[in-house]
A and B are shown apart, each in its own frame.
Chain A
Amino acid sequence: MKPDTLVEVKNLKKYFNIGNDKILKAVDDVSFSIKKGETLGLVGESGCGKTTCGRTILGMYEATGGQAIFEGENIYEMNKAEKKAFRKNAQIIFQDPYASLNPRMTVGDIISEGMNNFKMYSESDKQNRIYELLRLVGLNKEHAGRFPHEFSGGQRQRIGIARCLAIDPKFIVCDEPISALDVSIQAQIVNLLITLQNEFGLTYLFIAHDLSMVKHISDRVGVMYLGCMVELAGSDELYRNPQHPYTQALLSAIPIPNPSYERSKKRIALEGEVPSPINPEPGCRFRARCKYMRPICSKETPYLKEISSGHYAACHLL
Chain B
Amino acid sequence: MSKLLEVNNLKVSYHTYAGEVQSVRGVSFDLDKGESLAIVGESGCGKTVTSKTIMGLIDTPPGEIKQDSEVLFNGKNILKFSEKEWQHYRGKDVSMIFQDPMTSLNPTMRVGNQIAESLIIHRGMSKAEALEEAVKMLEMVNIPNAKERIKQYPHQFSGGMRQRVMIAISLACNPQLLIADEPTTALDVTIQAQIMDLLKELQSRLGTAIIMITHDLGVVAGMAQKIAVMYAGKIIEKGFVDEIFENPKHPYTLALLNAVPKLELKNKEKLVSIQGTPPDLLAPPKGCGFASRCKYCMKICRIKYPEVSTISDTHEVACWLQHPLAVKVDLAEDIRREL
Which residues of A are interface residues toward B (Cβ below 8 A)?
Answer: 45-46, 152, 154-155, 182-188, 190-191, 194, 209, 211-213, 215-219, 235-236, 239, 249-250, 252-263, 265, 267, 269-270, 273-274
Contacts and interface: CB of A to CB of B under 8 A. Distances in A.
Given A213-B261, A215-B263, A262-B222, A253 B189 contact: yes
A258 B221 contact: yes
A257 B217 contact: yes
Interface in B169-201: 188-194, 196-197
Contacts of B125: none
Contacts of B241: 259
Contacts of B222: 255, 259, 262-263, 265
Given A254-B189, A256-B263, A257-B257, A184 B274 contact: yes
Contacts of B189: 45, 209, 211, 250, 253-254
A257 B215 CA distance: 12
Contacts of A262: 218, 221-223
B158 A273 contact: yes
Q: Which of B193, B269, B274 has the most CB of A within 10 A?
A: B193
A46 B196 CA distance: 19
Given A46-B188, A183-B42, A259 B245 contact: yes
A187 B274 contact: yes
12 contacts: A45-B191, A183-B215, A184-B256, A188-B274, A211-B189, A216-B261, A216-B267, A216-B271, A239-B263, A253-B192, A257-B218, A258-B221
Given A184-B42, A215-B261, 15 more contacts: A183-B215, A183-B216, A183-B259, A185-B273, A187-B271, A215-B267, A216-B271, A217-B268, A219-B267, A257-B221, A260-B242, A267-B197, A269-B197, A270-B194, A273-B158
Given A216-B268, A255-B222, A273-B191, A186 B158 contact: no
Interface of B: 42-43, 158, 160-161, 188-194, 196-197, 215-219, 221-223, 241-242, 245, 255-257, 259-263, 265, 267-275, 277
A235 B191 CA distance: 23
Contacts of B216: 183, 255
B190 A249 contact: yes
B121 to A, nearest CB: 32
Contacts of B257: 257
A153 B262 CA distance: 24
A182 B42 contact: yes
Contacts of B196: 255
Contacts of A218: 267
A273 B161 contact: yes
Contacts of A183: 42, 215-217, 256, 259-260
Contacts of A209: 188-189
A257 B188 contact: no
Contacts of B218: 254-257, 262
B221 A253 contact: no
B273 to A, nearest CB: 4
Nearest to B293: A184
Contacts of A185: 273, 277
A267 B193 contact: yes
Top-5 shortest CB links A-B: A262-B222, A255-B218, A187-B273, A45-B188, A216-B261
